[in-house]
């Protein structure tokens, strides 16, 4: 028994060492962000390539994040429905107020606020992955250019405030039409800097906005599914207002 435990312990140490070595190999130092008019111009071209104006005018959105969190978002009223596990939450992200149910039972007091806070964190992260291109000029952002090995220019965007992880930075890698094909991330939730994932599977919503739901990484694929967008509830497959309870 002692020998088995010793072997298991050694195996665990080996796995930790492999992970550390892999992290050192994959890690890339975070580039400096040197704001410039040229960087802002490239950012605007990237936004135009995904029809950011059409996104801004899209009222209703519906999607599923990694098969775990289901959303209905009314951008006009700034209301979000979030469903996961046994929970359903109706949330105003601007005030972190709303209603929540667990297994159909209404929550109140501390349990309600904790659930609203959790739903808000989910929404900030999952809506960012839905379309971060339109957020490159958000308050607190800084934009710079970075030369890439192929001779093109990458666009690095730093978020100095806002969201749930201020200080994160993303290096956008664009195709010849200025549409994103990948980005590299320096984010507080990941111990390795500069990890890259793709932006692919581009689809156009009926409103004209473009969304990329597929992101391939070195460790697997992330995918957003059931994406719908439009100007009416019917356009996203609903017949009743999910926020009627508010």
Would you state the pLDDT for residue 147? Answer: 95
Predicted pLDDT at 188: 83
Contacts of 59 (CB under 8 A, 6+ apart): 74, 75, 76, 230, 231, 232
**What is the C-alpha separation between 205 and 211, in angstroms, rounded?**
8
21 neighbors 125 (Cβ within 8 angstroms):
no
Q: How far apart are CA 135 and CA 112, in angstroms?
A: 29
**CB-based contacts of 182: which residues, under 8 Å, 6+ apart?**
173, 196, 197, 198, 199
75, 61 Cβ separation under 8 angstroms: yes
Specify the residue for token string 């550390």: 20
What domains are defined for the chain? 37-236 (2.50.20)
Q: What is the pLDDT of residue 191?
A: 77
At 165 the pLDDT is 63
Each residue of 147-167: b (16+ CB within 10 Å) or e? Answer: eeeeeeebbbbbbeeebeeee
Measured CA to CA, the distance from residue 163 to residue 204 in angstroms comes to 26
| pLDDT by residue, tens only, the chain of 246 residues | 433 333 333 333 333 333 333 444 567 888 899 999 999 999 999 999 999 999 999 999 999 999 999 999 999 999 999 999 999 999 999 999 999 999 999 999 999 999 999 999 999 999 999 999 999 999 999 999 999 999 999 999 999 876 656 789 999 999 999 999 999 999 987 778 889 999 999 999 999 999 999 999 888 899 999 999 999 999 999 999 999 988
């Amino acid at each position: 028994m002692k020998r088995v435990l010793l072997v298991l312990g050694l195996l665990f140490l080996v796995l930790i060492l492999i992970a550390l070595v892999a992290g050192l190999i994959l890690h890339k130092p975070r580039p400096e962000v040197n704001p410039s008019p040229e960087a802002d111009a490239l950012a605007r071209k990237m936004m135009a390539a995904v029809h950011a104006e059409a996104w801004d005018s899209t009222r209703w959105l519906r999607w599923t994040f990694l098969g775990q969190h289901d959303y209905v978002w009314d951008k006009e009223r700034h209301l979000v429905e979030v469903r996961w596990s046994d929970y359903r939450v109706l949330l105003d992200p601007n005030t972190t107020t709303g209603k929540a149910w667990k297994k159909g039972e209404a929550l109140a007091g501390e349990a309600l606020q904790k659930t609203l806070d959790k739903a808000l964190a989910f929404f900030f992260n999952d809506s960012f992955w839905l379309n971060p291109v339109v957020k490159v000029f958000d308050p607190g952002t800084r934009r710079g250019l970075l030369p890439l090995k192929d001779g093109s220019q990458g666009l690095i965007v730093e978020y100095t405030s806002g969201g749930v992880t201020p200080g994160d930075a993303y290096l956008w890698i664009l195709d010849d039409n200025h549409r994103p094909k990948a980005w590299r991330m320096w984010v507080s939730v990941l111990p390795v800097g500069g990890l890259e994932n793709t932006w692919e599977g581009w689809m156009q919503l009926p409103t004209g906005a473009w969304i990329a739901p597929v992101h391939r990484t070195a460790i697997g694929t992330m995918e957003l599914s059931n994406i719908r967008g439009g100007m009416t509830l019917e356009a996203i497959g609903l017949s009743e207002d999910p926020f009627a309870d508010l």
